[in-house]
Amino acid sequence: MKKFAMAVATASLLGGAYAESCASSVSGFYAGVQAGVNSLSLKVKNKDTGVKNSLGGKGFAGGFFAGYGMGLGSCAYVGGELYLNLGNTNISQVDDTGSKSTITVGYNYGAKVRLGYTVSQQAMIFLGLGAERAKISAKNNGESAGSKQKISFAPSVGVDIFANKNVFVRTEFTQVFGPNLTEKNSDVRVKGTQQRFALGLGYKF
């Protein structure tokens, strides 16, 4: 009986040590760089004629991220993050008259809440819930047709893997519900989505 009690106490201590280590391994401030591919899909509809069209394009996206997070309980995690991506994703279309229209999604910046679960002291899977603002520019036959900044819902999923107690690599997929473009007194409606895959390198302070 005495040996059994000692074994239970030892297991409890080890479990507590692991929980503390699990939480501390991901807690704190961090910052890093990221780069990847951004895919843009647009669905264009003319409400007057009923004509629909789908367009798509891909481009490079890369930038920076920084945030703070802390472990909760044994292996849970919650944190907040800010990020900025630079790049250009272009979609062009030529109509029946030969006129060329181009839509470009440039830089974007956003904020998100990260909810994670540490599967080990070196790896954490996470869900990001956030919103981002992107610059969208339009050109007609090479001439600027104006630009806008739109806010879109941008959830993500990813994995952080620590090479040591400070350095980690990240793989993340982001689904952006936008941009949606609607002009006043226009029959054209544009609904867009973006899919972004990025690899990152970060440092936890």
d(CA 80, CA 176): 18
State residue 113's pLDDT score: 98
Q: What would the two tokens of residue 13 be? A: 């201590």
State residue 183's pLDDT score: 61
Average pLDDT of the residues of the chain: 84
State residue 135's pLDDT score: 86
Domain count, the chain: 1
Higher pLDDT, 10 or 62: 62
Residue 146 has pLDDT above 90, yes or no: no
CATH number of the structural domain spanning residue 93: 2.40.160.20
State residue 15's pLDDT score: 43
How many helices (H) and strands (E) would you count in the chain? 1, 11
Residue 170 has pLDDT above 90, yes or no: yes
Domain interval for residue 184: 2-204
Residue 151 has pLDDT above 70, yes or no: yes
Q: For the segment 24-68, what is each residue's pLDDT rounded down to a tens digit?
A: 778 999 999 999 999 999 887 877 777 788 888 899 999 999 999
Residue 128 has pLDDT above 90, yes or no: yes
Average the pLDDT over 96-122 and give the result. 87
pTM given for the model: 0.82
State residue 77's pLDDT score: 94
Residues 24-45 as b or e (16 or more Cβ within 10 Å = b): ebbbbebebebebbbbbebebe
Three-state DSSP at 21 gives helix
Average the pLDDT over 62-79 and give the result. 93
Confidence grade of residue 103 (pLDDT, cut at 50, 70, 90): confident
